[in-house]
Amino acid sequence: MSTSERRTIVDRLDGAKAGEGLLVIGTTPFIGEGFDAPALDTLFLAGPISYDGLLVQCAGRVIRAAPGKDLAEVHDYHDPATPILAASLPRRMPGYRALGFTRT
């Protein structure tokens, strides 16, 4: 994706408001540093992230305050049959606790 294409997408997301049904599917490099869409309220984490800093960065995309938003959810997938996924969730739990998330 070119820089101008990325900028166009980010500009469209910047104008989104909470409750408008915004859906973003992206990889960690795309929604990493410099990405801001406060209207997002749900994260589906389906990759093997174990570094706390990256977890904070990803979860930070949905915990930002925005008008009309009162809840943030992170859905984290744990697959004990896949070694890399099974090993990464326990490493992320301290990061989730530090961010104020509870396990349900």
Domain positions in the chain:
3-99
Residue spans of beta strands (DSSP E) within 1-104: 42-45, 73-76
Q: Mean pLDDT, the chain, as a whole number?
A: 80
Residue 73 tokens read as 């959810």
The whole-number average pLDDT for the span 9-24 is 71
* Confidence at residue 32, expressed as pLDDT on a 0 to 100 scale: 65
DSSP 64: S
* Confidence at residue 28, expressed as pLDDT on a 0 to 100 scale: 74
pLDDT value at 20 more than 80 = no
What confidence tens digit (pLDDT) does each residue in 31-57 have? 666 677 788 888 888 877 878 888 888
Residue 41 CB partners (closer than 8 Å, separation 6+): 18, 62, 69, 71, 72, 73
Residue 18, exposed/middle/buried by CB under 10 A (0-12, 13-18, 19+)?
A: middle
* Confidence at residue 11, expressed as pLDDT on a 0 to 100 scale: 76
The whole-number average pLDDT for the span 5-33 is 72
* Total length of the chain: 104
